[in-house]
Structure 1
């Protein structure tokens, strides 16, 4: 099992433990308050791992805290354990949607930009920052994989115009990513004014089963959203945000314009 991604290792251990107890997915699901199809989706990677689910699974399967402990190994790889369910959803997604009113989404950040973001926490040691940056860059691999997801990222123009020396490189990277057929980067011009997106950033992932999950960030932590009504609300807000953005080619034109202005600063 050495070298196997943590999420895959958790699923493998979950399947083994369930089988050793002689439980079908349906029977196991009843004991953890999941349907058999939901258990199947978790085991196949079509539904993100969740700490509450794994805690209950450890209890039912009498595995101690094995599954939850494996989830916590994400911290060793440079990500907090609360972020692991979203990484899992992102890695297995068929479609991804991102919006942030003030910064570039993590999946599209350069190493220098990500490093600057992580250094906002001045208690972090340089070694920890290095691990976080490396982990973030590894996420980018899904954009050019053999079967990449469709990615739509909406960014406010204000996020492009930060007066910082790293922004020209970041803008050049965005333009390069925008050349990929599966990546759409849409810009909301500053002239738009206030809109629903200013309530906060959000991300959405559609898995192989067609179901959506969301992810919300705060100053301290993040939350994966998979309750149907809440996901529906996020999808509706996402559509409202996207409707404020320029079309793809106009967005690219604006990014090029801002890039040239950073070069003259």
Structure 2
């Protein structure tokens, strides 16, 4: 597809590419000149303008700066990251963004909304056959999801995490030390709670998969339930009732907040000593 044929209404990526080209030409810059200023290759910049490549946030921020913009491209970037999410996951991202309360249970990994970039990258690289380009795209989308916790008034977020997650060295000891420090930092936020479910509980409720529950004003509660290949999004009353009961049961076994913080700190020290 040539630039003359690019239809900005075809997709968010096409809109981004056409807008980037318009801003660049308005500044009287060639692709090569802008590429040199933002320290990316001309071929990459051209591919973005043709809607053949998704831009990273870093790329977008550099173009914004060099073109003297005030958020015109950055406001389009989240629309592009949504496109990188699997089709079945996109309904959940919309629910998540509108939620007033989010509750989650994770038996295997740190919840996605609480993952550091390095931890998330290590998790994403574990997907069979995944390319580094796909890892980077998925990472950008995951980090964009996390922006909802940085709002002036974020949703209430309550996470239950199995203690085994703290012992699983995803990405190595330094990545885990950084990740556990991040959990402690997030726990200091007034609208975020993190509770650890101890290993010695020995119960099996919840071990078959992670899930999230969202409360959206004016809408039915919605659940996201993970499976081996993909997740399921449901607002059926029987699904919500079953998942809510499971969450409450798991939470009854969890350490209180101050004990959970102590458990995380203790494990972080062991990673620091390795």
TM-score (norm 2): 0.68
The question of 1:254 aligning with 2:260 is answered no
Check whether the contact 1:98–1:153 (CA below 8 A) recurs between aligned residues.
Answer: yes
2:166 aligned residue: 160
2:86 aligned residue: 80
The question of 1:209 aligning with 2:193 is answered no
| 2-structure distance, mates of 1:259, 1:76 | 33
Aligned residues: 197
Superposition pairs for residues 15-54 of structure 1, below 5 Å?
none
Q: State which of 217, 221, 244 in structure 1 corresponds to 2:230.
A: 221
1:44 aligned residue: none
2:118 aligned residue: 112
The question of 1:132 aligning with 2:138 is answered yes
Q: Alignment partner of 2:217: what SS?
A: coil
Q: Alignment partner of 2:255: what SS?
A: coil
* Pairwise CA distance, 1:74: 7.0
The question of 1:96 aligning with 2:105 is answered no
| 2-structure distance, mates of 1:108, 1:76 | 18
| 1-structure distance, mates of 2:238, 2:102 | 19
2:156 aligned residue: 150
2:189 aligned residue: 180
Residue deviations 1:9-30 (CA, integer Å, cap 9, x gap): xxxxxxxxxxxxxxxxxxxxxx
Check whether the contact 1:77–1:131 (CA below 8 A) recurs between aligned residues.
Answer: no
Deviates more, 1:206-215 or 1:98-107: 206-215
Q: Alignment partner of 1:214: what SS?
A: strand
Q: Alignment partner of 1:196: what SS?
A: coil
| 1-structure distance, mates of 2:119, 2:187 | 17
The question of 1:230 aligning with 2:239 is answered yes
* Pairwise CA distance, 1:77: 3.1
| 1-structure distance, mates of 2:88, 2:219 | 23
Check whether the contact 1:197–1:237 (CA below 8 A) recurs between aligned residues.
Answer: yes
Residue deviations 1:175-225 (CA, integer Å, cap 9, x gap): 111110000000011111123111321111100126310011122111101
Structure 1 residues 238 and 76, CA gap change in structure 2 (3 angstroms): closer
* Pairwise CA distance, 1:76: 6.7
RMSD, matched Cα: 2.0
TM-score (norm 1): 0.70
Check whether the contact 1:195–1:241 (CA below 8 A) recurs between aligned residues.
Answer: no
Q: Alignment partner of 2:207: what SS?
A: helix
2:76 aligned residue: none
Structure 1: where are the runs of 5+ without partners?
Answer: 7-72
